[in-house]
Structure 1
């Protein structure tokens, strides 16, 4: 029997969710389940999986209220019901199409149960809340860390983010804003509505810009103009900050241990006609010939600050991963401190909402603080009292929000 149209995309979405929730894979890694699908089906599978993860706590609450006996968390029927409900309640898909393409996923299983629960919830007129409910462990962590911000952060996760780009030439900001119909966030930083095919937009093929969330662009911006000085982009791949630094006149050395991600960096450099010395090496085994005038350390982290674009982090990351990465970050800061020339500047950053990866790291740095000033930041953002930068998905809500980042700047004694 031929598979119903749309079924392969739902099957791929189920496999992606299984990879994230059972194996702890990232959603990007799990996207291998879409191999061989037409681009439209692959995109649909990813959207279904991402929206299921974004709204999972609320989907589970609806399912539990509609079942006499609670389905196990890892039951296939629960995952399929999550997918069915998110398509109906968040993606506005037709119920008959959802039933036709999702119930076959339960062949040999409780199809009648899933059909009955799904139909009952829709008949009752149930809806998902505007702001997703955070998973219990995440809610507990962020309520303790950010008691005044946790509700705004949750509200900022309601939708996938818009498309932010960084221009190779900041002097062309107004020109590209007009050509792309984009909003200007800062000099050299534009925002477009999400859902656009990036490769087909004017200027992409010519290397005039690259995709980069505004928050992710801040660390390199805080190093200013390079004027030919030497900078190390430590943990550089896939290269957004490397390109920013090169475009700002720095002599850039880009170091990373990930060979595949560095290949993407090289491709981006070639497309933008920017130059940097690219080195594939383990930072703990590599030693530079000379010191650097500046080092940008965008350290490996849990990436919980990217939860609006990568909602899998809400379900994969716990205290164990936070503690392990915090140890790595401390060791990398020590290396960067060692390699910095006297008078040199270190910018430390993580795309994490966990204080252990941000504020606690900055408190332990032995270099002198170099506080960030308000006039160095785009309108709408302010440094903390310590002169650090902390962004989260609930900031600038009227303009589409931000990724969560922590940034601190230091200077080595001359």
Structure 2
């Protein structure tokens, strides 16, 4: 009698994890593999849970597995062992099922079956190791104080899907059987009945994925109706789209010209318009200054670990320092783009003081014609972190530092 084949969801998860351990990003790799595999909804859910769960618990899983290994272990073998350990201890899948499934997957090319069998059977428990390095836990403590433990614990929870929706979008999704729950303003928490890309809300331009904290950066500019707004380091253009939807005339800059095409396509889907230009933003772009400028600078991403847990595999204090140096240059280059009396909003999806308040404090010392001012209602919980605020990283809201700076007339 032929033995049953391993669950295809686990095979998809292992392919994704292997690439992520090699330096890839989880979301893009998982999307690619799920489209290729055409898994049923339940299996797609399992693959997603295995990928993100294994990455969120990576430090403890790795601390359990590595003492049982000798020499160098290739990424595919480590993926099998980490995912197997995650199922055994976090999902509490029966031991015999875990061992049998992952040994069969190892035979399919992921690693030595004997090694996988031996390690998964010998694992007795997960060590009491923090899921964050000590320096990052300190960053959370500095940012949130008494709220830090809840923020850290939330990083182990699945990330909700956040969608900014029009009224038509809410109705269309509910009509298709999706659950649409109140979130923050018009950014809703959604559980889809089908893939987002095939929903009427998405295809009609009534839905845009965005975290409430990311949308708070747009709200920090206040009323933008009819105003020219410069969107610096605009990336894939999501904030540019949100600004345009609020009535702004947007020019978005990014150093990566490859991001302009999907940004324009997304604007077309949303029935909006914006200009997308390529520029090295460590130098002031050749463009007319504007009354409102948003610099959502590249950063370490420590505020997005719940949605992007793979960041933790390569995040270090040195990387934070390198990002802070880049941010300082970009802030200096942005200053001349703000007209006298205008606004500059600086934001980063990081909880590090070096990338947030310390960055702005340095800028204010070298640019005395700018001063901080209170932020408008950002619709999300915030903690004061002078000269700005940090969004409270809990219940799926990312951690963003946001400061609003006014140029003297």
TM-score by length of 2: 0.83
Q: Find the residue that maps to 2:384 and give its secondary structure.
A: coil
> Unaligned stretches of 5+ in structure 1?
395-399
- Aligned partners of 1:368 and 1:412 also within 8 Å: yes
Equivalent position of 1:397 in the other structure: none
Residue of structure 1 equivalent to 2:403: 408
Q: 2:313 & 2:274 partners in 1: Cα distance? A: 36
User: CA, structure 1 residues 307+112, in 2 after alignment: closer, same or farther (shift >3 Å)?
Assistant: same
SS at match of 1:148: helix
Structure 2 residue aligned with 1:56: 58
Q: CA RMSD in A?
A: 3.4
Kept after mapping to 2: 8 A contact 1:230/1:250: yes
**Deviation, structure 1 residue 49:** 2.9
* Structure 1 residues 331-370: aligned runs within 5 Å: 331-365=329-363, 366=367, 367-370=370-373
Give 1:305 deviation, angstroms: 1.1
Residue 379 (structure 2) aligns with: 378
- 1:159 is displaced (CA, Å) by 1.6
| Conserved 8 A contact 1:294-1:346 | yes
SS at match of 1:320: helix
Separation in structure 2 between the aligned mates of residue 265 and residue 338 of structure 1, nearest angstrom: 26
- Is 1:71–1:78's contact at 8 Å kept on the other side of the alignment? no
Mapped partners of 2:7, 2:400: distance in 1: 38
Which residue is equivalent to 2:158? 160
**1:6-405 correspondence to structure 2 within 5 Å:** 6=6, 10=10, 13-21=13-21, 23-28=22-27, 31=30, 34=33, 37-40=36-39, 45=47, 47-63=49-65, 70-71=68-69, 75-76=73-74, 78-91=78-91, 93=93, 95-107=95-107, 111-119=113-121, 121=123, 133-136=131-134, 138-139=136-137, 141-143=139-141, 148-167=146-165, 169=166, 181-193=179-191, 197-284=195-282, 287-365=285-363, 366=367, 367-373=370-376, 376-378=377-379, 381-384=381-384, 386=386, 388-394=388-394, 400-405=395-400
Query: Within 1, Cα distance between the matches of 2:55 and 2:299?
Result: 20
- Residue ranges of structure 2 left out of the alignment (5+ in a row): none
TM-score, normalised with respect to structure 1: 0.82
State how far apart, in whole Å, the 2-side matches of 1:387 and 1:191 are. Answer: 30
- State the distance in 2 between where 1:84 and 1:278 align: 45
Distance 2:383 2:223 in 1: 20
Of 186-195 and 295-304, the range deviating more from structure 2:
186-195
| Count of residue pairs the alignment pairs up | 394
Alpha-carbon distance in structure 2 between the residues aligned to 1:97 and 1:156: 29
